[in-house]
Amino acid sequence: MNGRVFFCNWINLLTVLSLTIGSIAVADELNALYSIKQIDAQSLQLEAPILPDISKYDAQWIPQQVPSIRKGRISTPVMHKEPSLLKFLENDQMRKWVKKQSRLPLAIKLESGRITLPMLLKLVDNPTLLSQEENIYTLHVPLVIDTGATLIIQGNEVNALRLSEEGGAFIVNIGDIFFLDTELTSWNHELQSPSPFSGKKHFRPFYLAWNNSKSYFSNTDVVSLGYASSKSYGFSLSYNHKLTEAGYPDVRPIGWLFDSRFIDMYYGFYSYEADDVVILRNTYIDNIVYGIDPHDRSNRLIIAYNEAYGTKEKHGIIISREVNDSWVFNNFSHHNNGSGFMIDRSSVRNIFAHNLSIENGDDGFAVYESPDNLLWSNKALNNKRHGVQIRNSTDIRVYNNVLADNHKYGVFGHIKVEFPEYRDLELDPFIADVSITVASTKLLSNHTGAIAIDAPYEIQLYDLDLRFPYKQKGTYFRGVLDTYHNVLFDILYRQRGAVAVIPITAEKAQAIEGGI
């Protein structure tokens, strides 16, 4: 048997055994499987990552993209005859829209042209579909911006666009849309306020951009959108394979979201197979499930200089399921119920740099089932669990970070082989291994210790600041590192060297197996 495969199987066996025979006995066996090796510190040197140049994306960039006006054409199709709306008629949902409109449900479709919202109002000329009171506009039915069409909504003409909850209004964009210096909000006519969140399945209006769309949002408040229905999460950019089959362009959606606020959203941001999106200088406030959540094969994203706080259920900023080659930097995530930042489900080659994660209900940073990621020069302070948690992820580099006063460990790495039934391991496969490099990092006053690693394939340590232990007795290392304090301190502090904790040979592992 290949030694590597044998070793992984052996570690998985020990992890399962720990559930039944007690952590102390298994820890003894794990320690027997590792050795300490001094390595060349130069091999752990790493240049600062190159981050995207965002200097062109100033406050004037989006206004400069607004095109000249061109006469438009609209129609008011029945919903079931509009391909971009068929997603929302699945599973017998037609009844919902019939009930809301008290008729065969209609939509407004901007078929062509580049027009403003006041121009659209004149073209529609039906206050039961789109109405106006002073500079506040209310959409009462779904609105579709078709491929090749552009809708421009600017604060000098529109104080707010309200999406009627009672009417079942929402926006589907397959063209271009601009929101500048204004507000997009749900609206409950009975309460005369944005639609409150009253349960995951209770309809709230939403914004969705499909294939070939471009979404430009600048200095705009986006308020109280979304609920727990597919593609209806609040603010979403999503590729739709069925639209491509129907003849729509095979181009992924893209968006530029600058200097805006996203408040009380089900998801502040969600994407599915969207590329090159730029999320810059926004604030995500009191959202329900996530602040920012790009998902499923979204690539080359820039998420920078945002603030996310008050997320009620989960995390401030998360990338999940094959979100690759992206940059998350200079963000501030705090006081969220879950983690400040998370990398999840086979998301690889991402850089998280210069972020600040404070007082979150879970970890400062979490990396789950996602190899080959870099955490560079971040700060995780006073989070309820770990500064950095790494699970089932290899080649995770933790460099130049400050991890202080977190309620558990500064860095915690482990494998997990049992998952709840709802986790689809065919859709989200992983390897039960952990390998981590922690270098040039301050691990200060974390409550249960600096670093704890259970069953790593490899861990490399160099240039660590372990001052100011939370406990007087100084608890620095746990897991497989627990019995190696003296050796580790000798290499790391007295010799100013680098150390690798590595598994012993398969032959020795077999000998241990034979002795059980």
Please give the positions annotated as active site: 295
* Nearest-5° Cα angle at 208, 206 to 212: 165
40 Rama sector, left if φ>0, alpha if ψ -120 to 50, beta otherwise? beta
- What is the H or E stretch that residue 123 is in? helix 117-124
The backbone torsions φ and ψ at residue 5, rounded to the nearest 5 degrees and listed phi first, read -65, -40
- Output the CA–CA distances (angstroms, integers) from residue 159 to 156, 185, 343, in the order listed: 7, 11, 37
Sign of the Cα torsion 195, 197, 202, 207 reads positive
Cβ burial of 75 (10 Å; 0-12, 13-18, 19+) is middle
Q: How many CB atoms lie within 10 A of CB 384?
A: 16
SS (H, E, C) 475-514: CCEEECCHHHHHHHHHHHHHCCCEEEEEECCHHHHHHHHH
Q: What is the gyration radius of the CA atoms in the chain, in angstroms?
A: 26
Residues whose CB falls within 8 Å of the CB of residue 406, separated by 6 or more in sequence, listed in order: 363, 364, 380, 381, 382, 383, 384, 385, 386, 387, 446, 447
205 has which bridge partners? none
SS3 content of the chain, % helix, strand, coil (to 5): 20, 35, 45
> How large is the angle between the packed helices 506-515 and 3-21, nearest 10 degrees?
40
Q: Which residues pair with residue 368 across a beta bridge?
A: 344, 391
Tokens 């911006």 sit on residue: 145
236: its two tokens: 């979403």
| Cβ 373 vs Cβ 352: under 8 Å | yes
* Alpha carbon distances (Å) from 148 to 72, 144, 145, 213, 244: 11, 12, 8, 9, 15
Measure the CA dihedral 156/159/163/164, to 10°.
-130
Q: Report d(CA 251, CA 64) in Å as an integer.
A: 23
Distance CA 388, CA 375 (A): 9
Which helix (H) or strand (E) covers residue 25, if one does? helix 23-32
- Beta bridge partners, 329, equal 304, 353
Structure tokens at 211: 């294939």
Alpha carbon distance 286, 274 (integer Å) = 25
Residue pair 284/295 in contact by the 8 Å Cβ criterion: no
